Amino acid sequence: MRIRRGAAVDAGTVLALFDEAVEWLVTRGQTGQWGTEPFSASEKRVAVATEWGTGGGLRVAEDEDGQALGVIVLGARPAWVSPAPSPELYVEALVSSRRHAGKDIGGELIRRAVAETRTAGLPLLRVDCWRDAPSLVQWYERQGFRRSGTFEVNGWRGQVLSMKV
């Protein structure tokens, strides 16, 4: 697996990975995380994926054939998350292909984020996720994050997690 910088042309890849994840979540009955509709069917989500592709923080994990396995977006905290006590890098999005589950794709992307946080001289990496999925929160904790806050936006309950680097 290699991880490369993403670009505007990768917006479709981002949407396809999120569409795959939404389909998987729906089959598991976890519609509260990202809903039931494909990301590619939402103008707002298409616009966000395009922004990620042009914003400089998109990283794409690929196999040796160039097939996308997952993406991470590094940037600034969203407005609904409380400011951090120190300068930070924020994981705006993380998704990996369910067809390649169990290959530590998300873990590799998080390790890349940790390395980039260190390289930037920042002491903190943060992320948020849906707090009504305990196994997801626990996955982030296994990556080295600690719970550091919560928030709610339009009924969506988020868990903020932090990692000192």
Its domain, for residue 94, covers: 2-123
CATH label of the domain that carries residue 106: 3.40.630.30
**Is 25 part of any domain?**
yes
Q: Write out the two tokens for 35.
A: 């809903």
**Is 86 part of any domain?**
yes
Find residue 96's DSSP bridge partners.
70
**Is 62 part of any domain?**
yes
One pLDDT digit (tens) per residue for the chain, 165 residues: 999 999 999 999 999 999 999 999 999 988 888 999 999 999 999 999 999 999 999 999 999 999 999 999 999 999 999 999 999 999 999 999 988 988 999 999 999 999 999 999 999 999 999 999 999 999 999 999 999 999 999 999 999 999 999
Number of domains in the chain: 1
Q: By three-state DSSP, how is residue 57 classified?
A: coil
Nearby residues of 142 by Cβ (< 8 Å), 6 or more positions away: none
**Is 153 part of any domain?**
no
**Is 134 part of any domain?**
no
**Is 129 part of any domain?**
no
